[in-house]
Structure 1
Amino acid sequence: MSVPKLRIVCGNPKCRSPLLVQNPHKLKEAKCPACGFLNPIPEEEAPTQIQNRLPTELGWLIIKDEQTATQTFVLMMGANTIGRQSNLSPSTHMIITNDEFMSRPHCTLTVRIGILGTIEYLLQDGAARDDGRWKFSTNGTYLNGQEQRLSEFDCLYLSDGDIIQIGVTKLVLKTLQLSQSIQKAYRQVEDMDYGRTVIGFKTP
Structure 2
Amino acid sequence: MEVCGVQHAYGRRKVLGGVDLVLPPGTLTGVVGENGAGKTTLLRILCGELRPDSGTLRHHGRLGYCPQQAVLNDAFTVRQHLEFFRTAYGIPNLSRAEELMGVLGLTAYADERTGLLSGGTRQKVNLTLALMHDPQVLLLDEPYQGFDWETYLRFWELVTQLREAGRAVLVVSHLAHDAERLDRLFQLKGGILHERAEITA
Normalising by structure 1, report the TM-score. 0.25
| Relative contact order higher in (CA < 8 Å, ≥ 6 apart) | 2
Name the one with the larger strand percent. 1
